Amino acid sequence: MLKIHSFLRRVKKPIRKLVPSHLGKYKISLAVIAYAMVTVLFILTPDYIYGSGKTNVETHVKAEKTHQVVPDIVEETANEAIVRFDQVYLNSQFILCDLTTDGTPVESSLLQKQSLAVEGGNNTYSVTDDKNDSNKETEKDKITAEQADAETMKKVDSGSTKENSRKETKSAVSSTANEQETESKKKAEEAKVAKEAEEKKADEKEKESDKRKDYVINLNEEEIEILQRIVEAEATGEDIKGKMLVANVILNRVNNKSFPNTVKGVVFQKNGNIYQFSPTKDGRYWSVKITKDTKKAVERVLQGEDYSKGALYFSARSRADKNSMRWFDRNLEFLFQYGGHEFFR
């Protein structure tokens, strides 16, 4: 306020001098109006009092000089203006920070590094925004990290595939080994069963051999089986003695000159179309199952038991042909009857 008051006092005299004196009574009125206008202008432009006017003049002079020195002014781009604004903040006492995607602060100096490149001759300045480069590098690092992760996953998948392949191979080998072990056990069991069967058969042969030592009549295995089978077919349903009598008749014929000298020859003898033993004709000889009683009867006969009284023939009258029985009655000597059979000589 003191400066304003001082200024108004200074301009009072110059205003009076500027008003013409020949105006008379209007001189004071014009002076008051001029003084009021100067006061209004002074209030509206206070920078003049505080020295801003001087600064504006200097700035205007510098601008004129700059215009003379640099005739072509390069217009700033929007990016350069933003960078210039960021540079002002970088030069301040505050540290600007930014947050990364994981929430950790990163100094602005790491995200925004400006470089000023001076191109010679035209004094043209170019500012590079390293924030974009940083973003590009971050994207590049991210892509590189993703590629590394992909490679790692490929290695892991490859390792898993190899591990699975090893497991499958191991499982196949184990399965094959188990199959081989099972097959070996099966073969061993079969071999054991076969061995037991052979041992049993050998024991039976040995027992049979021991029995034969007691046999009075020596026959081979084939002849013994033939004798057992014809006894079973002819004396079905008879007791052991009835079966022994049939065996006695067979062996009596073997020892008689009128008949073949072997069991097989006697059993399968034919006189023309007449079979000596009907089971060899009708097939019962081949279909019978030899029982224990039949085996026992044959064994006792071979050991020398004989109840036949030298009989060479036998017949079941109830089942025989009448003509055949007439021949028996006319040509043979009746000896005895046992069970269902009559015995002749």
Domain residue ranges in the chain: 1-69, 221-344
Average confidence (pLDDT) over 141-152: 74
Q: What is the pLDDT of residues 63-79, one digit of tens each?
A: 455 445 444 444 445 55
Average confidence (pLDDT) over 110-135: 47
Sorting pLDDT into bands at 50, 70 and 90, what band is 267? Answer: very high
Average confidence (pLDDT) over 34-51: 66
The whole-number pLDDT of residue 17 equals 67
Give the residue, 226 or 210, on which the prediction is more confident: 226
Sorting pLDDT into bands at 50, 70 and 90, what band is 184? Answer: confident
Handedness of CA 301, 305, 308, 311 (dihedral sign): positive
- Closest alpha carbon to 245 in 234, 257, 258, 255: 234
Answer whether residue 113 shows pLDDT above 80. Answer: no
Whether the pTM exceeds 0.95: the reply is no
Answer whether residue 306 shows pLDDT above 70. Answer: yes
Question: Of all residues in the chain, what percent carry a pLDDT higher than 70?
Answer: 61
Q: Which CATH superfamily is domain 221-344 in?
A: Cell wall hydrolase SleB, domain 1 (1.10.10.2520)
